[in-house]
Amino acid sequence: MSRAYRHDLNGSGLERGSLQLEVEGVSLRFGGVQALRGIGVQVRQGDVHAIIGPNGAGKTSLINCVSGLYRPQEGAIRLHDGEVRELTRARPSKIARWGVARSFQNIELFRHMTVLENLLLGRHVHMRHNIASALVYFGPARRQEIAERELVEEVIDFLELQAERKREVGTLSYGLQKRVELGRALCLQPAVLLLDEPMAGMNAEEKEDMARYVLDVNELAGVTVVLIEHDMGVVMDISHRLTVLDFGLVIADGTPAEVAASPAVIEAYLGEAA
């Protein structure tokens, strides 16, 4: 398997099915608005773990807490990677360096930069050389730049973006932009990949392609995926486990079959049978 989207778990002692990401008692408030209420979620290594729920349920707020964009007032978030890493108060850059990457609900790419340039930005947390060493063309910084470029090219091949590699992102279709954003996250070589509605706004063919890429990353490279998605057909097809939120509370957690049969989920999200 290509190294481009494989996080190095050697020596971590982490095996498939073991606890990898732990959210315990997390509460988040914005003034008088309670976005999350004592949320508890356990994500296992190698799973595709979907977070679902109605609009405003707190799904993106939870992802933002895990990635360090929000800091909850209560609770703890831990990454198990050979050692226990506290994410609750860590900076987003440090969380990314520890192997947690994400995509965004609204595309967050540099529209006037090329596909290749956007993907290279995904490697910035792994760069080790300062500006002075970078000025030496044949120095260590140059060798590292070549290595990073090779890795990014592997991601381009994997996501079938060869024809678009030199195009400005702003000229691409919406579906291709979503694919580029996934590629930028993969360039971090994540252990945990957080995907916030990666298939929103796509047609059926684009959704099928994106689902295939997500499954390949998960099954072939062993990357754990935490997925927010409203297309219940996709969620039920590719997820190992689901957590359902409603008004900032966990109302169900289990396999797709267990969640689909939950009366609380049927009432709050899936809708009553006709």
Integer Cα distance of 172 and 115 in angstroms: 9
User: Can you give the pLDDT at residue 81?
Assistant: 85
User: Can you give the pLDDT at residue 271?
Assistant: 59
pLDDT (tens digit, 9 = 90+) per residue, 112-130? Answer: 889 998 888 877 766 555 5
pLDDT (tens digit, 9 = 90+) per residue, 181-222? Answer: 999 899 888 999 999 999 988 888 999 999 999 999 998 888
User: Can you give the pLDDT at residue 8?
Assistant: 54
CATH superfamily of 3-110+189-270: P-loop containing nucleotide triphosphate hydrolases (3.40.50.300)
Which two tokens mark 86?
């506290």
User: Can you give the pLDDT at residue 108?
Assistant: 73
Which two tokens mark 185?
């996250």
3-state secondary structure the chain: CCHHHCCCCCCCCCCCCCEEEEEEEEEEEECCEEEEEEEEEEEECCCEEEEECCCCCCHHHHHHHHHCCCCCCEEEEEEECCCEEECCCCCHHHHHHCCEEECCCCCCCCCCCEHHHHHHHCCHHHCCCCHHHHCCCCCHHHHHHHHHHHHHHHHHHHCCCHHHCCCEHHHCCHHHHHHHHHHHHHCCCCCEEEEECCCCCCCHHHHHHHHHHHHHHHHHHCCEEEEECCCHHHHHHHCCEEEEEECCEEEEEECHHHHHCCHHHHHHHHCCCC
Strand partners, 168: 114
Residue ranges of the chain whose pLDDT lies below 70 = 1-13, 105, 107, 125-147, 269-274
Selection from 115, 124, 118 nearest residue 145 by Cα: 124
**Neighbour count for residue 89 (Cβ, 10 Å):** 10
What are the domain boundaries of the chain?
3-110+189-270
- pTM, 2 dp: 0.86
